[in-house]
Amino acid sequence: MNLHMNLDSDSYDIIIDHGCLAKADEHLALDRKVLVVTDAGVPARYAKNVACCCKEAYIVTIPQGEGSKSFETLQTLLATMLKNGFSRTDCVVAVGGGVVGDLSGFAAATFMRGIDFYNIPTTLLSMVDSSIGGKTAINFSGVKNCIGAFHQPKKVLVDPSVLHTLPDRQIANGLAEAIKMAATFDADLFTWIEQNEIKSSLDTIIARSLAIKKNVVEQDEKESGLRRVLNFGHTIGHGIESCAMGNLYHGECVALGMLPMCAPEAKKRILNVLKKTGLPTELCFDASEVFEAITHDKKRDGEHLRIVYVPEIGSYEIKKVTIKEFEHTVKEAFTK
Ligand code: GLY
């Protein structure tokens, strides 16, 4: 199945097909110098497979984890391209999850003022969400994604057959983002997730989540309005992520972050789906700690936050709340 992201001159195809990674050269223009970026947690054969399809490939394997979204690792990628005589007509291919995609997309965005970038996501989280839409970034000074660029890929290859090597916890991690999309935009998909066995339904979940995201990005590529809804669960989720210091996955934090941000009936349904998919439903920190982590750079009084709220499954509201109101919501939701 193919989807097409319509973004004028930045339009591209999203290929969803079992086995497409092994046939990368049928889909991507690899008859040139190619920087293939992967991480140490991804089976090495995936990147080697892609490299074998290229005219001249250089594989860089970065350490696994968020710590690789750094200036240092970015420099490694840029230096590899410079040292090996890459020009503006060469390209970067990401073979991995969100960290690999964000970092290598940013390297492609900045090298020689921007070169072609292809994304081959290998985690469920990157397949359903981060591999499309063109957000690329590194972290800086403890702030997530604060240095980055919008740089759309030229093509995205989603090969669900690679998911068989992923542990269950990683599958659940990705499902959190799919649940987020269904909860805000697609009540039918949400019901479908409630009613079906998940592991045998991943192809459907991937295709339908990507279709939702594609539709959102086509309407608001640079996140000036509608795309903000994709941040449902992320404001609190990011706070939880910083308290967890690497012990919880991004999707697990987003799962928890969705719970305080919906009406009671929607919350009940989200809770049940989180339990079904093996995602956490209870916070293992103090709610005040999470609140502090979210607002540590904000003045306490008078300042507002924009939050995404789900009044009913399949719908959303963007609400402007005061810091005080937000503090009350977080503490009420998580205080036992
Ligand atoms: N992951 C949310 C977005 O791409 O906007």
Asked whether the beta carbons of 193 and 178 are under 8 A apart, the reply is yes
What is the spatial distance between Cα 97 and Cα 229, in angstroms, rounded to a whole number?
A: 22
Q: What is the mean pLDDT of each run of 10 residues along the chain (336 residues)?
A: 96 97 96 98 97 97 95 98 98 98 98 98 97 97 91 98 93 97 98 93 96 98 96 93 89 96 96 96 87 73 84 96 89 79
Mutating to test ligand 1, I would choose from 132, 213, 215 the residue with most ligand atoms within 8 A of its C-beta, which is 213
For 233-295, the DSSP string reads THHHHHHHHHHHTTSS-HHHHHHHHHGGGB-HHHHHHHHHHHHHHT---S-SS-HHHHHHHHH
pLDDT tens per residue, range 166-208: 999 999 999 999 999 999 999 999 999 999 999 888 999 999 9
What is the spatial distance between Cα 273 and Cα 267, in angstroms, rounded to a whole number?
A: 10
Helices (H), the chain: 24-27, 44-52, 71-83, 98-110, 124-125, 168-185, 187-195, 202-219, 234-244, 250-258, 264-277, 287-295, 323-334
Q: Considering Cα of 233, then 239, then 243, then 249, what sign does the dihedral take?
A: positive
DSSP classification of residue 30: -
Phi, then psi, of 326 in degrees rounded to 5: -65, -40
pLDDT of 301 = 53
What is the spatial distance between Cα 242 and Cα 245, in angstroms, rounded to a whole number?
A: 5
Q: Taking the model in full, what pTM does it have?
A: 0.94
Phi, then psi, of 216 in degrees rounded to 5: -70, -50
CA distances from 264 to 181, 267, 270, 309 (A): 18, 5, 10, 12
**Residue 229 in contact with ligand 1 by CB distance below 6 A:** no
Q: Which atom of ligand 1 is nearest to the CA of 216?
A: 5
Rounded to the nearest integer, the mean pLDDT of the chain is 94
pLDDT of 242 = 86
Q: Find the distance separating the first CA and the last CA of the chain, reported in whole Å.
A: 46
pLDDT tens per residue, range 203-251: 999 999 999 999 999 999 999 999 999 999 999 998 999 888 888 999 9
**Selected catalytic residue, list 27, 33, 69, 135:** 135
CA-closest candidate to residue 98, choices 122, 71, 115, 77: 122
CA-closest candidate to residue 314, choices 251, 257, 265: 265
pLDDT of 298 = 61
pLDDT of 302 = 64
pLDDT of 2 = 95
pLDDT of 287 = 86
Q: Are strands 155-158 and 116-121 parallel, antiparallel or unpaired?
A: parallel
pLDDT of 295 = 81
pLDDT of 165 = 86
300 is catalytic: no
CA of 5 to the centre of ligand 1 (A): 14
What is the spatial distance between Cα 137 and Cα 274, in angstroms, rounded to a whole number?
A: 28
Q: Pull the structure tokens for residue 268.
A: 């009940």
